[in-house]
């Protein structure tokens, strides 16, 4: 049985529980983010925070990112959407274009898709040769290890939904004039190759999950459950990263009750 097959997509959360947990996890994230940025505490800026999202189309990556950054000060983070590389970017090593947006100490970047395109879409669509995408796994692991060792907390999410739920979301987008722009012919074409992408994902998990950058696979069949799982996991990963860097982990205390969210 594969990793994706083992994910329990039946997990749900009711609206009341979601509202409570959302406030709790977002407050904790705000506290951690302010400590990382040096706006709270007496230790100065902490490690940079780098959050990566991958997964099939309509899996809820955008909604999860909104739940992460929506209550933060916009001066304290960047969100990057990584699409097709430009002609200039194609002339360089495939990781070259990502370096300018890697967060420094105290900074935060969220990538909606990332360098993993080399071993996903570029592999499947033939944009990279067999030799190129096979080399990509080790290049990615070395890249990520170097970032963490130089002071970055790396958190990697794969948002997972069933093919049936993806189809339902596609049709809902198609029927909504304000969301129709999100659905492209490319999305429908990619859906026809879902099995290829799942096989590539399993290779990705086995070859690029390492002790400094493990993959967290999120059951996102229900959006509420998926968003809370992302927030809770992110907070835990930040705490682990702070301890690894020898930076104090702030306590959850009464101060949070006074924060203006």
Q: Is the pLDDT of residue 67 over 60?
A: yes
pLDDT tens digits, one per residue of 209-222: 999 999 999 999 99
pLDDT in tens, 123-158: 999 999 999 999 999 999 999 999 999 999 999 999
Identify the band that residue 255 occupies on the pLDDT scale cut at 50, 70 and 90.
Answer: low
d(CA 121, CA 215): 18
Q: How far apart are the first and last CA of the chain?
A: 43
Contact (CB, 8 A) for 144 and 52:
no
Q: Is residue 257 part of a domain?
A: no
> What tens digit of pLDDT does each residue of 180-209 get?
999 999 999 999 999 999 999 999 999 999
Which residues does residue 48 pair with via DSSP β-bridges, in sequence order?
152
pLDDT, one tens digit per residue, over 23-45 is 999 999 999 999 999 999 989 99
Q: Is residue 252 part of a domain?
A: no
> Token pair for residue 40?
């709270």
Q: Residue 259 pLDDT more than 70? A: no
Structure tokens at 257: 């009750």
Residue 48: the pLDDT is 98
Domains identified in the chain, total number: 1
Q: Can you list the positions of beta strands (E) in the chain?
A: 48-54, 78-81, 108-112, 152-160, 215-219
Q: Residue 257: pLDDT band by 50, 70, 90 thresholds? A: low
Q: Which of 179, 183, 169, 155 is nearest to 65 (CA)?
A: 155
What is the average per-residue pLDDT within 226-236?
Answer: 98
Taking 60 as the threshold, does the pLDDT of residue 3 lie above it? yes
- The verdict on residue 261 lying in a domain is no
**Is 34 within a domain?**
yes
Residue 30 and residue 37: Cα distance in Å, rounded? 10
Which SS3 state, helix, strand or coil, does residue 251 take? coil
Would residue 250 count as lying in a domain? Answer: no
**pLDDT by residue (tens digit) across 237-249?**
999 999 999 999 9
Establish if 101 belongs to a structural domain.
yes
State percent of the chain over pLDDT 70: 97
Examine the pLDDT at 11 and tell me if it is beyond 70.
yes
Q: Has residue 254 been placed in a domain?
A: no
Q: Which of 159, 120, 147, 150 is nearest to 213 (CA)?
A: 147
CATH of the domain at 184: 3.40.50.300
Domain presence at residue 213: yes
Which tens digits make up the pLDDT trace of 74-104?
999 999 999 899 999 999 999 999 999 999 9
Residue 120 has pLDDT above 50, yes or no: yes
How confident is the model at residue 261, as a pLDDT?
Answer: 44
- For the cut 80, the answer to whether the pLDDT of residue 252 exceeds it is yes
Question: What pTM was estimated for this model as a whole?
Answer: 0.95
CA angle 47, 39, 155 (to 5 degrees): 30
- Give the domain extent around 177: 3-245
Read off the pLDDT band of 172 (50, 70, 90). very high
């Amino acid at each position: 049985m594969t990793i994706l097959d083992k994910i329990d997509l039946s997990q749900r959360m009711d609206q009341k529980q979601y509202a409570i947990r959302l406030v709790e996890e977002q407050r904790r994230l705000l506290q951690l983010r302010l400590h990382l940025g040096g706006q709270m505490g007496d230790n100065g800026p902490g490690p940079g925070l780098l959050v990566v999202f991958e997964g099939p189309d309509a899996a809820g990556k955008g909604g999860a990112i909104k739940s992460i950054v929506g209550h933060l000060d916009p001066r304290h983070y960047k969100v990057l959407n990584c699409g097709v590389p430009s002609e200039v970017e194609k002339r360089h090593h495939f990781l070259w274009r990502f370096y300018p947006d890697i967060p420094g100490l105290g900074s935060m970047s969220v990538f909606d898709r990332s360098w993993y395109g080399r071993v996903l879409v570029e592999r499947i669509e033939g944009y990279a040769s067999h030799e190129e995408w096979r080399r990509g796994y080790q290049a990615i692991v070395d890249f990520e290890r170097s970032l963490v060792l130089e002071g970055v907390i790396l958190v990697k999410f794969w948002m997972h939904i069933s093919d049936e739920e993806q189809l339902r979301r596609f049709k809902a987008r198609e029927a909504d004039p304000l969301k129709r722009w999100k659905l492209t012919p490319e999305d429908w074409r990619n859906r026809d190759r879902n099995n290829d992408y799942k096989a590539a994902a399993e290779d990705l998990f086995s070859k690029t999950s390492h002790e400094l950058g493990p993959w967290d696979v999120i059951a996102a069949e229900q959006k509420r459950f998926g968003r809370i799982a992302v927030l809770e996991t992110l907070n835990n990963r930040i705490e682990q990263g702070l301890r690894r860097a020898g930076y104090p982990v702030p306590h959850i205390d009464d101060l949070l009750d006074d924060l203006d969210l």
